[in-house]
Copies of this chain bind each other. A is one copy, B any other.
């Protein structure tokens, strides 16, 4: 059953008219008579005609495809984000190419190259945790491929970015702790070289201040985000002479590990120790003893906004001014 797809030419031949007329008729060009248009469409239907998009892409220099680059789809945050991106793109008749960087800068570059080759109309990207070389941005600019960053965004001006402001959530978290009497509030932070970590620790300091609590650096520990690292970090806090009664942690994965560890050490949650973490997994709602709260970062809202900005850039031929959108993060009590 090898049936090569029909082309415009064949339709033209069958109708004894010119290919251009067929092309125009199929595209509902106003200058073509209604009768002709109908006849053409009828034959097209009969021949099971389908436009060869690759030819169209080639000719029009437009692929109706956007590329999405993110660290890993196995992380719920990102699968939720890309899910929303696909929804927005689908509504615009766009298709989504995807690539996972696995937090590897080289792989990111490779994906960018591939996307460039595929002539995607635009790119959405969340940076890997270690990406430092941002020169690919200029490369894309030269090729006139718009890019919008979300969640993990570059720390420079002149680019489109959408991210969530960690400090608002942190302020709420510290306040929530303080208002029920906690004095010694710890922070289990991520790797020190991460922007996300720097932001957290600064937000943490400010939030303490705003609540008239003193900052003490023994209450800030770091984890490399492995299970072992998470446990070690918690251990460091637990051995302190004045051990903290409340902990804000880097994300829900970390929280899961440290809660488990605390439990093993015989600490009872919301009695001996309180937790608030970042990300807000749906799963907390099912746990018997969830943390006191989690700071929602709205992956879907971020992704949707980023996609919308991207499409605005794709639509307008003229340069659009780089946009920065910051969503407040929000403490959700459990």
Chain B residue with minimal CB distance to A115?
Answer: B95
Q: Could you tell me the distance between the alpha carbons of A116 and B3 in the complex, rounded to whole angstroms?
A: 14
- 1/0 per position for A67-101, CB-CB distance to B under 8 A? 00000111010011011001100100101111110
Chain B residue with minimal CB distance to A94?
Answer: B114
Chain B residues closer than 8 Å to A65, beta-carbon distance: 97, 118
A57 within 8 Å of B (CB atoms) = yes
| Interface range, A side | 35 or more
Q: Which of A55, A65, A90, A98 has the most CB of B within 10 A?
A: A98
A283 within 8 Å of B (CB atoms) = yes
Chain B residues closer than 8 Å to A96, beta-carbon distance: 97-99
Q: Could you tell me the distance between the alpha carbons of A54 and B59 in the complex, rounded to whole angstroms?
A: 9
Q: Could you tell me the distance between the alpha carbons of A97 and B83 in the complex, rounded to whole angstroms?
A: 13
A144 within 8 Å of B (CB atoms) = yes
Chain B residues closer than 8 Å to A114, beta-carbon distance: 93, 95
Chain B residues closer than 8 Å to A74, beta-carbon distance: 76, 79-80, 83
A218 within 8 Å of B (CB atoms) = no
Q: Could you tell me the distance between the alpha carbons of A154 and B2 in the complex, rounded to whole angstroms?
A: 23
Report if A288-B288 is in contact (Cβ < 8 Å); known contacts: A74-B83, A86-B73, A142-B3: yes
Q: Could you tell me the distance between the alpha carbons of A90 and B104 in the complex, rounded to whole angstroms?
A: 14
Least CB distance from A158 to B in Å reads 13
**8 Å CB contact of A76 from B61, B76, B90:** B76
**8 Å CB contact of A90 from B50, B73, B99:** B99
Supply 18 A–B pairs (Cβ within 8 Å), ascending by A.
A52-B58, A54-B118, A55-B58, A65-B118, A73-B73, A73-B79, A74-B76, A82-B98, A86-B99, A90-B99, A90-B100, A93-B114, A95-B99, A95-B114, A96-B97, A96-B98, A96-B99, A257-B286
